[in-house]
Structure 1
Amino acid sequence: MIAIQGQSQSTRASEQQLANQFSKEGWICNRGVAGNKKSFDVSQSFVHCFCPPSYYGNRCEFMSDRLTVFISFKNQTNGSSTGVIKILALLVVLINHTSTVLDRHEVHFTSTLDNYKEKQKFYFIYPRPHQLRSNTHNYTVRFEAYQLHENESIEFLAVWIYPVPFNFLPSQRLAKVLKYTQQSQLALNHTCFTRYNPCLNEGRCHPIMNKLNEIHSYWCECGNNSYGSHCEFKDQSCFISSTKFNYCSPTSLCRPQYDHYGQKPLCICSMNSYGSRCFMDRQCQMKIGQNSCQNGAICFTKYQHYNLIDAYICQCPKSYFGPTCQHRSGAIEISYDNENQSVTLSGDQISATVIQLFDISDREELNLKKQVLYKDSLPSRLLITSESVIHPVFGLI
Structure 2
Amino acid sequence: MVKMKEKKCLCPPNYFGARCQWQSQRISLTVQLKWQSIASTTVIFQVIIMLIDEHGRITLNHEQITYMPTHDCSTKFNVYLLYPDRPKSLSNNYSIRIDLYEKTKLNYWARYSGTYCNITHKCNCANDSFCLDSPICICSLHKFGRYCHLTHSICQSSNNPCQHNEVCVPTDDCISLKAFTCFCPEDYSGQLCQNKNNRIDVRLDETIISITSLLLLHFITIFEDAEYERITILKRVPFNQNILTIIVR
1:61 is matched with: 21
Structure 1 residue 127 corresponds to structure 2 residue 84 = yes
Alignment of 1:217-236 (within 5 A): 223-229=109-115, 232-236=117-121
- Aligned mates of 1:71, 1:99 — CA distance in 2: 22
Gaps (5+ residues) in structure 1?
Answer: 1-40, 156-222, 239-246, 260-265, 320-351, 357-397
Which whole-Å deviations, capped at 9, do the CAs of 1:286-329 have from their partners, x for residues lacking one? 5x2333x5999985411132533x3435835879xxxxxxxxxx
Equivalent residue number for residue 143 of structure 1: 98
Cα separation, 2, equivalents of 1:103 and 1:307: 21
1:225 and 1:353 map into 2 onto residues whose CA distance is 57
So what's the TM-score if we normalise by structure 2?
Answer: 0.63
The alpha carbon displacement at 1:93 in A equals: 1.0
Task: Give 1:79 shift.
Answer: 3.7
Is the alpha carbon distance of 1:102 and 1:275 closer, same or farther for their aligned partners in structure 2, counting shifts above 3 Å?
closer
Corresponding residue to 2:43 among 70, 74, 83: 83
Q: Is the 8 A contact 2:57 2:113 kept in 1?
A: no
Map of 1:152-163 to 2, 5 A cutoff?
A: 153-154=105-106
Which of 149, 153, 171 does residue 283 from structure 1 map onto? 153
Paired residues, number: 189
**Is the Cα contact below 8 Å between 1:92 and 1:103 reproduced in 2?**
no
Unaligned 5+ residue runs, structure 2? 183-190, 196-221, 226-249
- Contact between 1:224 and 1:253, CA under 8 Å: does it hold in 2? no
Distance 2:194 2:40 in 1: 27
Partner AA of 2:106 in structure 1: I
CA deviations on 1:45-88 (whole Å, 9 max, x unpaired) are 44332222222111111111011110011124544563311100
Larger radius of gyration: 1
AA at the equivalent of 1:224:
A
Contact 1:102–1:126 at 8 Å: present in 2 too? Answer: no
The 1:58–1:236 alpha-carbon spacing in structure 2 relative to 1, beyond 3 Å, is closer
What is the alpha-carbon distance in structure 1 between the residues aligned to residue 28 and residue 144 of structure 2? 25
What value does the CA root-mean-square deviation take over the aligned residues?
Answer: 3.4
Q: Which amino acid aligns with 2:63?
A: H
Q: 1:267 to 1:102 in 2, by over 3 A?
A: closer
**Within 2, Cα distance between the matches of 1:119 and 1:300?**
19
Contact kept in structure 2, 1:88 and 1:143, CA below 8 Å: yes
Instruction: For residue 137 of structure 1, report the CA deviation from its aligned partner.
Output: 1.8
CA distance in 1, matches of 2:53, 2:32: 23
1:316–1:80 distance in 2 versus 1, CA, 3 Å: closer
> What TM-score, normalized to structure 1?
0.41
Return the match for 1:312 from 150, 166, 180.
180
Higher relative contact order structure (alpha carbons within 8 Å, sequence separation ≥ 6) = 2
Q: Indicate how the Cα distance of structure 1 residues 47 and 311 shifts in structure 2: closer, same or farther if over 3 A, else same.
A: farther
Post-superposition CA distance 1:263-298 (Å, at most 9, x none): xxx221111111122122112225x2333x599998
Task: Give, as a single letter, the amino acid of the residue that structure 1 aligns with 2:180.
Answer: Y
The AA in structure 1 aligned to 2:137 is C
